[in-house]
């Protein structure tokens, strides 16, 4: 069964540095998403992306964050000038259509030191 893959599985970064989290969505999917889960808290929506632009974003997704689909297969989340509170598990998801279920990757655990 096709899967969403995320790399790396664990990223450790110094506070203030930039980090890029990578995702390869399921190949025929058109909608892409990022979520995060701070330890002990709910999974929270960050952003959705369709047709090479952001279609919806949460208040968490401020100017520190950006997303990109640099080629036909990758979908990236960039976090500039990381803060301690950015430490979380980041999940990528994709869906074939807007109202179809989202399929999630295994996540990238981001640790900011």
Q: How many residues bind another protein (CB under 8 A)?
A: 26
Which positions ≥6 away from 109 have C-beta within 8 Å?
Answer: 9, 10, 11, 88, 89, 90
38 binds another protein (CB under 8 A): no
Choose which of 14, 27, 41, 52 interacts with another protein (CB under 8 A).
41
Tokens coding 46: 């960050």
Q: Which is nearer to another protein, 22 or 44 (CB)?
A: 44
The minimum distance between CB 81 and another protein, in angstroms, equals: 25
CB 42, min distance to another protein, A = 5
55 binds another protein (CB under 8 A): yes
Beta strands in 1-113 (DSSP E): 5-7, 10-13, 19-24, 31-37, 43-50, 53-57, 65-68, 75-79, 88-95, 103-104, 108-112
25 binds another protein (CB under 8 A): no
Between CA 23 and CA 50 the distance in angstroms is 15
The binding site for another protein (CB under 8 A) comprises 4, 6, 31, 33, 35, 41-45, 48, 50, 55-56, 58, 91, 93, 98-99, 101-107
């Amino acid at each position: 069964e096709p899967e969403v893959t995320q790399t790396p599985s664990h990223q450790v970064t110094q506070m203030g540095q930039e980090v890029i989290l990578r995702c390869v969505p399921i190949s025929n999917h058109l909608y892409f998403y990022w979520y995060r889960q701070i330890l002990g808290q709910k999974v929270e929506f960050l952003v959705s992306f369709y047709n090479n632009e952001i279609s919806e974003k949460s208040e968490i997704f401020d100017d520190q964050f950006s997303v990109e689909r640099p080629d036909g297969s990758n979908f990236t989340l960039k976090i500039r000038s990381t803060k301690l509170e950015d430490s979380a598990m980041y999940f990528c998801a994709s869906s074939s259509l807007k109202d179809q279920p989202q399929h999630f990757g295994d996540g990238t655990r981001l640790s900011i030191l």
